[in-house]
Amino acid sequence: LGIHYLGQMHENGMLRIVLDQLTNGQLDWIELDAQFDTVIVGSRQYHLYSGKQRFAETMKKQFPQEHEAIDKFMKLMKTAAKGASLLAVLKMIPLWLSKLLIRTGLIYWISPVFRLAATSHSELLNDLTSNKDLQTVLTYLFYVSIGVPPKDSSFVVNALLLHHYKRGAWYPRGGASEIAFHIIPVIQKAGGAVLVRARVKCILINEDGKASGVTVVKDQEEEKVFAPVVISNAGIFNTYTRLLPQKMQTKPTIQSQLSMVQHGMGSFLVFVGIKGTKEELGLKSTNYWVYKHNDLDELMTSYASLRKEEVADNIPMFFITFPSAKDPTFNERHPGNSCMTILTMAWYEWAEEQVKKRGTDYDDFKMNIANKLIDMAMEIFPQIRDKIEFVEAATPLTNQFYLSAPQGEMCGIEQNLSCFFPEVVATIRAETPVKNLYLSGQDIFSCGLAGALHGGLICTCAVLKRIVYIDLICLKKKKKKKLKWTSKKKEA
Ligand SMILES: Cc1cc2nc3c(=O)[nH]c(=O)nc-3n(C[C@H](O)[C@H](O)[C@H](O)COP(=O)(O)OP(=O)(O)OC[C@H]3O[C@@H](n4cnc5c(N)ncnc54)[C@H](O)[C@@H]3O)c2cc1C
């Protein structure tokens, strides 16, 4: 259900190379329309176009008075993108060295990215422009991944999100499940095994206090699996507060890491089945980001202060996407049908209250929000209204059940401003205070598939004690040479 679109999948891009390696080149990525996102602010629409130059040029056309601000933003975005690897380096070098660089202030001499990372997105945008619509367009991806208002989030993570899609947006052919489908054989070929419906109950700790394996529950049976290294991708909260034995959880170093992070935002999704093909319904692969108005800080703050029963009538932002319009295999698999997903933010507490008395009340609450979201989406796509055949809604409880997200988070820990302070960047890393236990995935770097993948790479470097990024850079160079050679041959 996840992965609505991914950026940086252009040929020979680093992310593409990594995913091709992981899937043995078997996963195909379909590029969305050049106009991949539309941002609707009140009654005004803005369009995002892919392309290194076109991205900024088309933005300038839509904001003719704001050329200077856009140029400055693009420059800062480039600084953030270039410097992002240094954030990873801070996690990979020995912790004492990271701390020394931070304490002496040397990191600020090394790159401006560290100061940008610790700057609030709103603060920086307010310095660039007073145009609130432009500020919205330079922030529009924030809530699904970061989950806090722009004033409480880092400029760098917002800029990286925009940069991620600058070259365009892609969708996995056949849908998101194809990602796992094509990675599994690669794992198996390397001698690994993939278990499903096999919950890890706890991490085993030996007499020396080192991680030595896991207890897995499979078909009601518990089995101990011993291993020299345990890598947890279950998130920092699950790993430290649910999987480690109690006596390990209370370690000051573990508690100190936990005090640096917070649970991220939950999501509310509506899945809609529609009669008719994309051609019949006039659907495109473009995604829509809808905002009630252009003050995103205010919008998030007032949304957060709503009482549960006020939510349905006051949804201030949502995202609409048509997975069926992005996937060329969809019509073969579901002839004559289409699907739409609507997404907004949701707080775990709305659902938590209901945990013990879920029933018609809860269903009404849930479907009331779902129907409101559909009504709002129908204002943009009125041609769909009579064609809806199926509706299902998902709440933070869905994420809790299917993703084991402790508080229904959509993207792991909250990517707030303090997460990008150098001390936190350096401390939350693959190595844990428990010997032989490593963390991987989105919580140790950043959210989204790309962020999680870098989390994986950082973890690989730590476990193998090898900078695999160097291997990847060499591979990229080799491929570039080959591409040049092939295109020359074609020309000849
Ligand atoms: C609806 C939705 C849409 C999204 N859309 C996009 C998008 O368009 N583009 C994008 O880049 N990102 C998107 N994301 C975000 C992206 O999916 C995540 O950032 C990414 O999957 C994080 O990867 P991860 O491996 O770190 O964690 P996860 O993918 O959450 O994997 C963690 C795994 O650990 C498992 N686990 C937890 N506890 C245990 C246990 N005790 N035993 C065994 N297993 C356990 C969980 O079941 C889960 O499978 C979306 C997320 C959602 C929810």
pLDDT for 351 equals 72
Q: Are 143 and 317 in contact (CB under 8 A)?
A: yes
- Residue 317, Cβ density class (10 Å: 0-12 exposed, 13-18 middle, ≥19 buried): buried
Q: What is the residue with the minimal CA distance to atom 18 of ligand 1?
A: 448
SS3 351: helix
CA 181 → CA 134, 188, 310, 367, 442, distances in Å? 40, 12, 41, 32, 20
Shortest-distance atom of ligand 1 to CA 199: 42
| E strand or H helix at 211 | strand 211-218
pLDDT for 52 equals 86
Does ligand 1 come within 6 angstroms of the Cβ of 411? yes
The whole-chain average pLDDT of the chain stands at: 94
Shortest-distance atom of ligand 1 to CA 4: 8
Percentage of the residues of the chain whose pLDDT score is greater than 90? 89
> Tell me: the pLDDT tens digits for 138-147?
999 987 777 8
> Tell me: the pLDDT tens digits for 361-415?
888 889 999 999 999 999 999 999 999 999 999 999 999 999 999 999 999 999 9
For residue 406, how far is its CA from the centre of ligand 1 (angstroms)?
12
Mutational pocket test of ligand 1: of 411, 440, 443, the residue with most ligand atoms within 8 Å of the beta carbon: 411
Q: What is the residue with the minimal CA distance to atom 23 of ligand 1?
A: 452
Shortest-distance atom of ligand 1 to CA 238: 38
* Residue 332, C-beta contacts closer than 8 angstroms, at least 6 positions apart: none
β-pairing verdict for 35-41 and 44-49: antiparallel
198: pLDDT strictly greater than 80: yes
Does ligand 1 come within 6 angstroms of the Cβ of 410? yes
Measure CA 427 to chain center.
Answer: 21
Measure CA 492 to chain center.
Answer: 43
Shortest-distance atom of ligand 1 to CA 242: 41
Which CATH architecture does the domain made up of 195-262+411-469 adopt? Answer: 3-Layer(bba) Sandwich (3.50)
CA pair distance 172, 1, nearest whole angstrom: 12
* Residue 188, C-beta contacts closer than 8 angstroms, at least 6 positions apart: 194
* Domain assignments of the chain as residue spans, ordered by start: 1-32+169-192, 33-168, 195-262+411-469, 266-403
CA pair distance 36, 22, nearest whole angstrom: 26
Tokens of 238: 């699950």
